Every structure is written in C-alpha cells, then in structure tokens.
Amino acid sequence: MASSDKSCLYFIKTNILVILTLIGVVIGFAIGISVRELHPSADALMWIGILGELYLNVIKMMIVPLVASSIISGTASLDPRFNGKISLVGISFILITNFFGTVLGTVLCVVINPGGRSSQLRPVSAAKTNIQTQDVFADLLRNILPGNLVAATFQVTMTKYEIGERIVNTTINGTHSQDVISFIKNKNLGTSNSVNMLGILVISSFFGMATAATGKIGRPFFKFFYAATEIVLVVLEKILWFTPIGVASLIMKEVAGADDLQGNFMRLGIFIGTFMLGQVIALFIVLPIIYVVIVRRNPLKFFTSLAEPMLIVLATTLTSIAMPESLRKLEGPYNKIDKRITRFIVPLNAAIGRTGSCIFLSASCVFISQLENQDQNAGSIVLIILLVTLMSFAVPSIPSGSLVTIIILLSAIGIPPEAASLLFAFDWFSDRMRSLTNIYYQCLTSAVTYKVCKSSLRSICDDGKVGLHDDIEGETIIPIVDENNKDIEIRAEFISV
C-alpha cells in the first residue's frame, strides 16, 4: 500500500502542471457554456478573457529573447571540424526529417480541411487574389533579409493595397443588373506591427555561424547568448505555471462568445484526427521504410528495443529526460551503435530534432488560419512551411513548449494568438504523441548516421563523456549524463579540455 501511495504521489508531483491545466480546461468550458446562455456583451467578454490576454502578452514578450538567444547559441555550438562527416550527416538528416514533418502536417491539414471553411468567409476579389500570391512571395524575400535589425523585432514588411470599386451595369435578355467590382487602384510597400520572425531566425543563424568561425574572439559572445538562453527558459518555466489560469480565461472567452460552439468542437475533433493521422504516417509508415532502406534491419525490433525510452517520454513529455535510457538502448546488444556516434547525435537531436512537433505546429497554423477564415494561397502555405521548419530549431525543451511556439508562429503570420486557445484543451494528449514521434526519429538519426559514417569513424580515446561540443579556446560544452541519479537528471556544464 505504501509503495502504491508513493507511486501515486510521484505521478501527481511530476504531472502537476498537466493536471492543473486540465482542471483549468474543465473550469473554462463549464463557466463559458454557462455564461454563453446569458449572451454577454463585448465588454463582458473582454473582462472574462483579460487574464488569458495578459498570459499571452507575457509569453509574446519572451519571443525575441528566446528565438535570438537559442538560435545563436545553438548554431554557434555546432563545430563542423569535429567529426565533420558525422556532423554533416546528422544535421542534414535532422533538417530533412523536420522539413518532412512540416510538409506532412501542412498537406494533411490543407487536404482534410479540419477548419471547415464556412459560409461566413468574406469574399475576396479575383484581382486581389491573383496579385496577392506574387506579393506574398516578394514580401517573404524582403523579410528574410530585413534592412533594419531593430525594426525586425516589432515590424514586418508587407504589401498594402488601396482597393477601389466600380459599378458595372449589364443588360441580359432585357434584365438590368448592377455588379460592384473591386479592383486594386494602387499598392505600396508598408509595414505591420508584428515580429519579423523569419528575419530574426536568419540573422541569428548568421551571427551563430560567425561566432563559431571566430573561435577565441567569439567566445564571450557565445557564452552570453548561451547564458541568455538558459535564463529565458527558466523564466518561461515560471510563466507556464500560470497556464491553468490563462487557459481557463481564454477558453471561457472563446466558448462564451462562440457563434457556432458545436461546429467548433466538431472541427477540433477533425483536427485531432488529422494530427494523429500525421503521427501514424510518420511513425509507422515512413520511419520503417527509412530504417529498412538505409539501415537494412528489422524495424519492429528497433521499435521494441526502445520501449523504455518511449515510456519515459510518455510520462514526462521531455525527450531530454529519456536521453540516458536512449543512449543505453542504442549502444546495447541489438542496435550496437558506436558511442562516438550516439553521444554526439543524441544530445544534438534532443535539442533540435522535432519531427513530431513539426507535424503539430504546421497543422495547427493551417487549422487556426482556417478557423479564422484567412485566405490560404501558395504564398501563405510556403511561409508557414518555412517558418515552422526554422522555428523547429527553437522549440523550448519544456513541457508544452510547442504551444509557446504556436503563439510565436501565429503572431508572425498575422493571426491573433487567442485563436489557439482551443488547442490547449487537448495539449496533454498531443504533447505526448508528438514527443513519442520525436524520440523515435531522434534514435533513427543515430542509426542512419552510424550506417552512413561507420566506415569512416576515426579512432579516438573515449573517457565516457563525449557529446555535443563547441571548441572555443579549449573549452567544450558537453552534456553530462548522470545515470546514477534516480531522478535521471540531465545537466550541461562548462568543462575545460
């Protein structure tokens, strides 16, 4: 009995935020449905959602510090001089799988259309639609390389239109009619008050690569942004404890003010099915094919050999927590992957490998844009794919980190972040599903890298502490894996070598 009580307390302790968030979801729905019957005014809805609005504001406040610091420190820590082929193969495979997840989620959501484009959609004139596609691509290129770094933190370049209307009288078989035709009188380059996320990502990557190339000179710059990343993550972890209150407030406002509540729930259910279809395709179709074609071994045994890391991820939603067990299984009797591969690739993958998260992020952006009746064309779809692929390298390694990223992405594409409140209702489930896909693809990267680089592995002395590093004036950042700690703690330290 005592053992079961301890297990129960441990479960509650490790999942307390999830439990509180679920309680917040239930309270939000219950109060929202009750208030909806009273037909609240716009002012009443504003006060109902004020706590959720403040919660989102605090998260949005952390957008630029989080993205800039994590991208700079992340790219600066990748030294191609260390086992160059291993780095090239590993990073390339991670980039490809992240991009694949993004495209898969986007395509599924566009094809299935869970947002259900309703009859409330405002008509868009043909003239505007035809020109808008090319202008979206032009704006995309302008925002990739902004002319002002400071302005990129709060402004995004976009083409603005001056729409005119003219009345056309027509007579057909004696019947007179008047049609109002919209046309573009003029267009000019303007700005919108939003974070230029694409520009910040690209510029931060440039600074990170330059930092790695300068070696000794760039060391203080790197250490500053490495510390900044850790500080921002600590702040975010504290902010996320207010998630139950923020979620309850946002859901209350959305439910109380919804015109078609039943339709929204139906669309959310279809979206969950779309998201799960993407995870199933990635995990049980694409992954086994890649494993068979490249590694040429039985994928079923690969799945079963990673059962323990999988269970850890399902319990904690953090792939970094499962890192010690992943290393043990990948280096174990079945997989037999060289530790020089695993102890570089596994920490790297835990930091930037996000196949499952990319499926969720891209599908969520398309779904929310459908709910908001946003016009979806080739330009907007390409923008979502590019942003999600790049942002996958900056997803915070914290529970529900993808929800923070969704708020960033929605702000970047001009959609109110409040529209994502429905996604909080099932995040406890989606977080585990995308983390499960993440861990398997992270382990797959080690297997693929070992297969490709096996013949060219150089002989090095290994003291059992090898990992992702950045060689800056003889200092190396190495993830230290402490397998003796019962809580399975992962910590990063500066170690002189």
Q: Residue 234: give its domain's CATH number.
A: 1.10.3860
Residue 37 in this model has a pLDDT that exceeds 90: no
Residue 129: predicted pLDDT: 41
User: What is the distance between the alpha carbons of residues 77 and 208, in angstroms, rounded to a whole number?
Assistant: 8
* Range(s) of the domain holding residue 208: 2-496
User: What is the distance between the alpha carbons of residues 358 and 395, in angstroms, rounded to a whole number?
Assistant: 10
Question: H helices within 282-306, ranges in order?
Answer: 287-290, 299-305
Task: Kindly report, residue by residue over 241-291, the tens digit of the pLDDT.
Answer: 888 888 888 888 878 877 666 777 788 889 999 999 999 999 999 999 999
- 296's tokens: 């040429």
For residue 496, name the pLDDT band (cuts at 50, 70, 90).
Answer: very low
Ranking 93-97, 208-212, 491-495 by mean pLDDT, the lowest is 491-495
Q: Read off the DSSP letter of residue 472.
A: B
User: What is the distance between the alpha carbons of residues 306 and 310, in angstroms, rounded to a whole number?
Assistant: 6
Global pTM? 0.65
- Please report which helix (H) or strand (E) contains residue 190, including its range: strand 175-192
- CA 319 to chain centroid, in Å, comes to 15
- 247: Cβ contacts below 8 Å, ≥ 6 apart: 21, 24, 25, 28, 52, 421, 424
Q: Read off the DSSP letter of residue 233.
A: H
User: What is the distance between the alpha carbons of residues 323 and 348, in angstroms, rounded to a whole number?
Assistant: 11
User: What is the distance between the alpha carbons of residues 252 and 54, in angstroms, rounded to a whole number?
Assistant: 15
Task: Kindly report, residue by residue over 130-170, the tens digit of the pLDDT.
Answer: 445 567 667 778 888 888 888 888 887 877 766 666 665 66
Q: Which of 326, 348, 398 is nearest to 62 (CA)?
A: 398
Give the CA angle between residues 11, 15, 17 to the nearest 5°.
150
Residue 103: predicted pLDDT: 96
If one counts the domains in the chain, the total is 1
| Measured CA distances, 411 to 203, 406, 417 (Å) | 19, 8, 6
Residue 481 CB coordination number (10 Å): 23
User: What is the distance between the alpha carbons of residues 300 and 489, in angstroms, rounded to a whole number?
Assistant: 29
